[in-house]
Amino acid sequence: MGEIQEFLTANYPDAFIRLKRYNLMYKKHPIEVQFNGPDPAVLRSLTAQALDIMENSNAIHLTQNNWEAQTPVLMVNYNQPIARNVGLSRQDVALSLLSATGGIPASVYYDGNHRQTIYLKSVDGEGNAIESLDNAQIFSMLPSLGFLNRDLVQGLITGVYAEEDILEEALRTIPLSQVTDGISLEWEDPLVIRYDGQRAMRAQGSPVQGVGTEDARQTIAEQIEEIELPHGYSMHWEGEIKASEQSSKYLFKYFPLAIILMIAILIMLFKDYRKPLIIVCCIPLLLIGVIFGMLASGKTFGFVAIVGVLGLVGMIIKNGIVLMDEIELQLSDSVDPVEALLSSSSGRFRPVMMASLTTILGMIPLLGDDLFGPLAVTIMGGLLIGTLITLIVIPLLYSLFFKIKITK
């Protein structure tokens, strides 16, 4: 995908082309920094500084702002007193100017499934497009009666003026230059976005292939946060980091409830509070493997990694149930308690480790993925180290909780 992006960018420099992988965060741009404030010019200046920092980073490409490029707009200075004297309104001037430029949408023509809009356009006396807007003729949607006076009415009655003369005068057009104080070309924002009632502009970018979103953001975070903000302006991060924070908030909101339900199920399964407590005490041990995996791989511990930790909790509990059930089975056969603990741990080692290894090997294809890489590392490291420690700690805790004395 990176090679395709480079080819399209190099061969089509005038087009903004961005290839995007499927993203669970549902964000158009992974890296976004938003500036809020009243003045669009100041917002563009602040956003331009942030975009310069992004473009100078080797970890970020495809930068842009969410207001898009400014577009040229014709500004006509409408002279209201003069226009009213000749019976022309502001809307008349706007429609006439539209007909002289892009055209007024009049109807739609369908050729099968193809839809074509029909435009009404003004032309000059020779049937060509109008080149000078100053000479564009302004027409009124209603006949202009402002020219009528007593002499014209008497002339119409006495036959001095014909009805055609009066009608031609009523439907006459006036050059644009006579009802305006000039035309200027100005630049305007095609899109203005507001958040909480304030104008807001974002500098947006994407991490290059092979670089995680948070790793790429960290390369520019310090520089962007050092941008001096005028009074009344603010800055905050958007993009995937904002989505991750929101998702984590809802995730941890129901996490205590999930733990309570798991403990309740364990109590109903074993009909005892000590055995579930032994299994629960082993859950923090999986963090040893998670931390080791993150440090060894250099991955970032984010939202996806947290989801992996929650999955690990269920796996560790499952392994604990298997080992605890084996201990209970041997004790029910009147095996010496110490021998039961040792044989259960050694006897369950192979099936538990084989089941864990199949899961670990299944995570290998995800290691190189920017999005799911932290998830794979979390599950692989936590499951490998956590399972090994669990097979040792559960027998020790069992002997402690049930007061089984282990002698040499």
Distances, alpha carbon 82 to alpha carbons 89, 133, 134, 228, 360, in Å: 10, 18, 16, 49, 82
Helix H or strand E segment including 64: strand 60-65
Predicted pLDDT of residue 125: 66
Q: For the chain, which domains are there?
A: 21-69+191-239 (3.30.70.1440), 72-187 (3.30.2090.10), 254-401 (1.20.1640.10)
pTM for the complete prediction? Answer: 0.60
| Structure-token match 């490029």, residue found | 69
Predicted pLDDT of residue 201: 92
What φ, ψ does residue 182 adopt, rounded to 5°? Answer: 125, 165
Residues 6+ apart with CB under 8 A from 69: 190
pLDDT tens by residue, 333-379: 777 888 888 888 888 888 888 888 888 888 888 887 777 888 888 88
Angle at 82 between CA 80 and CA 83, to 5 degrees: 65
Average pLDDT across the chain, whole number:
81
pLDDT tens by residue, 341-350: 888 888 888 8
Predicted pLDDT of residue 207: 86
Whole-number Å distance between alpha carbons of 61 and 18: 10
Kindly give the parts of the chain with pLDDT less than 50: none
Whole-number Å distance between alpha carbons of 219 and 57: 7
Bridge partners of 105, per DSSP, are: 119
Predicted pLDDT of residue 367: 83
| Structure-token match 């948070």, residue found | 214
- The pair of three-digit structure tokens given for residue 288, joined into one six-digit string: 């040893």
Show the beta-strand stretches assigned E in 71-228.
71-78, 104-111, 114-120, 137-138, 174-175, 180-188, 194-195, 198-207
- The pair of three-digit structure tokens given for residue 220, joined into one six-digit string: 């520019």
Whole-number Å distance between alpha carbons of 240 and 244: 6
